[in-house]
Structure 1
Amino acid sequence: MSLSTLKDRVRAATAEKPAPDATVEALAGIPQQSTPERLHTSAQAEGDAVADLVLTWLERYGDDFTKALPSHIEVKVFLAAVRACLPGLIHCTPASLRQALLTCARFGLIPDGRHAVIKREGKLAVFVPMAQGYVELMYRSGRVGSVHVGMIHEADEWSYEPSAPAPLDFTHKPRVELSKKDRGPAILAYAFCWMTSGARSQVIVLSREDAEAIRDEYSSAYQRAKDSGANDSFWHTDFDKMWAKSALRRLHKVVPMSAELVALLAADDAGDEGRVQVVHAPDPEVAVLAAEAERAYEAAEGSQELADAALPRKSPRTRRTQPTRSSRKSRGARSRKGARR
């Protein structure tokens, strides 16, 4: 029987394990020689069917996603967000798509464009945590009470005096009554945290020049996109979001970070450099043990003074002076003399 429709080709392709170098495009049975116009027309005609059938293929690994996701996120909610981003990932290899999604799930982030994004880099699907994803993990640490990240525009009222005590060292009053045009372009990005202890972190302030320096020095994805002429990295398409995200990432130098947040930084860097990301994602079982150890450590640290007070203490005793050798001889002689009497 001929597979005349795109839906039939997808069903046939998903019935077997794809080749390691195959793409989701091949998995969907779309001819690689298709022009963008033809591909667009085909996707418009049966786009929903393609997304559903590729999602059906991913659902084979539902147990993996269930084990990876934290209990507060349902698999259905996660996969619904995945379905929305599938059309832009048809040129990726299935293996890289599974890895990117599994990494995203292990960090407990939804690829909804706010917390995380699954982006295509050539034939690779890459997990990219967004600013809100970093904020989410900061809250989960239990040490951060609130996170503030924002952009200062040209017409806003603000002051920054690092030598002044918090919170007088930094203020920002956005001119929300003005239009975007009247507020002017963004001139600074900032981020800081209030801790649950009541202390406030140092304020991280980055100028546009600072953000461009970070981009040029550390972002391999930006350099690849620039060299290829594609100019499709997030630094090209969403500069302000990456600017704010860079300010948040700088907080790890001044705020106590959980092991999960440190792992997110490593996974983010690995994805930017084209390396495997899932190896940096926390393993669910290990994460549970680490969380229990962390709680035990904090409980022990918090009760250290009480524990010290409860420790049994020896009562002071009068020190007995040991007799010298000469005094022992003298006492022994007196005893023998008394005995002879």
Structure 2
Amino acid sequence: MALTTLKDRVRAATNQDAEQPTVEAAVTRAADIPQQQSVPDELHTSAKADGGDVADIALGWLERYGEEFTKALPAHIDAAAFFAAVRAALPGLVRCTPASLLQALLTCARFGLVPDGRHAVIRREGKTATFVPMAQGYVELMYRSGRVGSVHVGMIYEGDEWSYEPTAPAPLDFTHKPALLKSKAERGAPILAYAFAWMASGARSQVVILTREDAEEIRDEYSQAYQRAQESGKHDSFWHTDFNRMWEKSALRRLHKRVPMSAELVAMVQADEAGDAGQVQVVHAPDPETAGLVEEAVRAHRAAEASQEPRVRPLPVKGGGRRGRSKPKKNRGGRAVRRRAA
């Protein structure tokens, strides 16, 4: 069966990553390439460009898919800013296969996140590029639901003042006073990560609190990337290199189950899990048409909820008009009796 769409070609090519050349190898290769080329092979043509380093040539190849990225990026994300972040990340990704790099960047674009290290990261594992949403990326998608007013995520250190009483009413159940004037040595090591959200309605979500032991259990049980890094002896997963940020991200991952979830947020969790498992992620990201339908459905749902809110009837107005007159009372004989003005 012919692969007609970009998604089909990327998915097919990504499943054969072991046999595909890396971006670096494709750029340095000078063989003649036929006009009908597969997704990974198209990078060979760019290798014939004069001057420029590997990252520049790879970026030029990616820009040939500019129309696909323009369709994928939401209106509030500037394509120039997106590609500027991609350009900064490319030097560390040249050993990835072109197919995996393309699918990781398309996935990132469809969720409307910039791979700047704060909202998302494109990470290399072997020859595979993977889209990794960071804690700020999860916060961004929670805001987009329109029902979350603010999200708070943080770390509690040994020298901080804090209290947690789950049975107390919010917001008295949880307080945290960071010891900002203490030195890092005086403040001590982090002992807890937490996350909570205030709804647009004014209500507050349940507070999610994770100990270091909780984070380690999540890492050991669910992170296949960590397990692969352990087995290979490379120790280069995010759990190895940036444990505290993954600790905070785990708290946010649990928080998303306690706040109103958008279809986009659910899809990103699935894409995040697929990337950790070494699977294709772009199939989980909403395509532009689907994203439009989901947005329309969300608007319709909100309108339906608003229409069910009880309406308060206005109180009658005394005097000044026919609608404001009160009805005359009747006596026992059935005759109308009007009150005399005092």
- State the SS of the aligned residue for 1:28: helix
**How far, CA to CA, are the matches of 1:227 and 1:117 in structure 2?**
23
The one-letter amino acid of 1:131's match is A
* Kept in 2: contact 1:78–1:111 (CA 8 A): yes
Q: How many aligned positions are there? A: 278
Match of 2:182 in 1: 178
TM-score by length of 1: 0.78
1:159 is aligned to 2:171: no
TM-score by length of 2: 0.78
Matches within 5 A, 1:52-201: 52-201=56-205
Structure showing greater Rg? 1
Match of 2:216 in 1: 212
**How far, CA to CA, are the matches of 1:202 and 1:129 in structure 2?**
23
Match of 1:202 in 2: 206
Say what the alpha-carbon RMSD is for the aligned residues. 2.1
Shift of 1:90: 1.2
Shift of 1:252: 2.2
The one-letter amino acid of 1:121's match is E
Runs of 4+ more than 3 Å apart? none
The partner residue of 1:222 within 208, 223, 226 is 226
* Kept in 1: contact 2:54–2:94 (CA 8 A): no
Task: Indicate how the Cα distance of structure 1 residues 164 and 80 shifts in structure 2: closer, same or farther if over 3 A, else same.
Answer: same
The partner residue of 2:249 within 245, 251, 261 is 245
- State the SS of the aligned residue for 2:236: coil
Shift of 1:62: 0.6
Shift of 1:48: 6.2
- State the SS of the aligned residue for 1:279: coil
Percent identity over the alignment is: 73
The one-letter amino acid of 1:188's match is L
- State the SS of the aligned residue for 2:53: helix
1:290 is aligned to 2:294: yes
**How far, CA to CA, are the matches of 1:190 and 1:125 in structure 2?**
30
Matches within 5 A, 1:321-332: none
The one-letter amino acid of 2:121's match is V
**How far, CA to CA, are the matches of 1:240 and 1:287 in structure 2?**
33
Task: Flag structure 2 segments of 5+ consecutive residues without an equivalent.
Answer: 1-16, 31-49, 314-342
**1:258-312 CA distance string (max 9 Å, x none):** 00000010000000000110011011111111111111111111112469x9xxx
The one-letter amino acid of 1:236's match is H
Bigger drift between 48-57 and 172-181 goes to 48-57
**1:221-263 CA distance string (max 9 Å, x none):** 0000010000000000000000000000001221111000000
